Amino acid sequence: MAGITLPIFFSSPSPLRVCRIFGLWQFATLALYLGALSTPLRIHCAGIVPALWLLLATAFPAVFVNLTHGDNGS
Partner 1 sequence: MIPLALLVVLAAAVWTVLALSLVVTAVFGAGVLSAFLTSTHFARTVVLEQGNTGSEKIQSVFAWVRLWGGWVTLACILQGATTLAVAAGLVAAWRRQTSFSDRGAILCLAAILATPYCPDYDLVALAPAIAPLAAQGLALGFRPYEKAVLAALWLVPIATRGIAGVRHCC
Binding residue (CB under 8 A) for partner 1 from 11, 22, 37, 55 = 37
Near partner 1 in 41-60, by CB under 8 A: 41, 43-45, 48, 53, 57, 60
Residues 21-57 as b or e (16 or more Cβ within 10 Å = b): eeeeeeeebbeebeeebeeebeeeeeeeeeeebeeeb
Tell the smallest beta-carbon distance from residue 41 to partner 1 (Å).
Answer: 6
Binding of residue 18 to partner 1 (CB under 8 A) = no
Contacts of 9 (CB under 8 A, 6+ apart): 17, 18, 21
| Chain contacts with partner 1 (rule: CB under 8 A) | 1, 3-5, 7-8, 33, 36-37, 40-41, 43-45, 48, 53, 57, 60-66, 69-74
